[in-house]
Amino acid sequence: MPRVLPAEAAVEDLLDLLAVDLSERGWGTFDGLAWLTPALVTWLRDEVIALNQANAMAAAGVGRGRDHVKDRSVRRDRIAWLKGETTPQAELFGLLAILQRGLNERLFLGLRRFEAHYATYEPGDFYKRHLDSFQGRASRVVSLVLYLNEAWQATDGGALQIFNRESPLEICATVLPEGGRLAVFMSEEIPHEVLTAQRTRHSLACWFRCDEVALPL
Ligand code: OGA
Ligand code: MN
């Protein structure tokens, strides 16, 4: 079950718990983050729904550079990168910058920037078990997923499965993509999978990176 933070908990309280979770097992899941307000989550949800309806989301690829392919047997979601320019994105980017600094202070990860995209899974869509860091690049260090859905039920499918970094076929957690919930994990270490969604599923994925500039796709 996700850790539920008390209403008075500050960002620093999340960071303290997250630092322990990331160093001890490589992942953490959290609910009840009062500073991630329902208003902001709703605003972000409305934005991804509008992008999806405007056909502004593109099929996601797998791999980087010459290896970049759109393999529908591996992942079927559609994505739109955030630029941080709208009001909710700017607010979110402010929070992500605080998290980046707090993780560096606690874990000395050398995070230098982050990138984020919205993702929409339509019914039938999935993302097979994978790691987020592309082999040989080692530039995505920490992955963060913020879920944007209302009243998600287990029967809606689309759960995130987190596997054990020591025995990668062992499931450690099954996380329903409920609005306001955060899943955070070490990008190079934690295998994970999005099970087939039975209902349209919206999320926002962010990667904290240790490289300075974006490498061309
Ligand atoms: C990803 C991913 C997990 C999720 O986008 O790489 O694994 O729960 N997302 O949406
Ligand atoms: Mn992933």
**Listed range (30-34, 152-156, 158-162, 210-214) with the worst mean pLDDT:** 210-214
Predicted pLDDT at 163: 98
What span, in angstroms and rounded, lies between the C-alpha atoms of 8 and 17?
A: 15
Average pLDDT over residues 142-160: 98
For ligand 1, say whether the CB of 145 is within 6 Å of any of its atoms: yes
How many percent of the chain have pLDDT more than 70? 94
Predicted pLDDT at 68: 73
Predicted pLDDT at 65: 65
Nearest to 147 by CA among 83, 97, 199, 201: 201
For ligand 1, say whether the CB of 131 is within 6 Å of any of its atoms: no
Q: What is the pLDDT of residues 36-75, one digit of tens each?
A: 999 999 999 999 999 999 999 999 877 766 667 778 899 9
Please tell me the CATH code under which domain 3-63+70-209 is placed: 2.60.120.620
If 0-12 CB within 10 Å is exposed, 13-18 middle and 19+ buried, where does residue 208 land? buried
For ligand 1, say whether the CB of 144 is within 6 Å of any of its atoms: no
Predicted pLDDT at 63: 74
Predicted pLDDT at 125: 97
Predicted pLDDT at 61: 79
Predicted pLDDT at 71: 83
Residue closest by Cα to atom 6 of ligand 1: 132
DSSP for 153-201, please give it: -GGGB--EEEE-SSSTTSEEEEE--BTT-EEEEETTT--EEEPPBSS-E
Q: Token pair for residue 117?
A: 């995209």
Whether residue 217 has pLDDT greater than 60:
no
How many percent of the chain have pLDDT more than 90? 87
Predicted pLDDT at 64: 67
The torsion defined by the Cα of 83, 84, 86 and 89, in degrees rounded to 10, comes to 120
What is the 13 CA–ligand 1 centroid distance (Å)?
A: 24
For ligand 1, say whether the CB of 202 is within 6 Å of any of its atoms: no
Q: What is the pLDDT of residues 91-108, one digit of tens each?
A: 999 999 999 999 999 999
Whether residue 134 has pLDDT greater than 80:
no
Alpha-carbon distances of 155 from 14, 124, 125, 176, 177, rounded to whole Å: 29, 13, 15, 10, 12
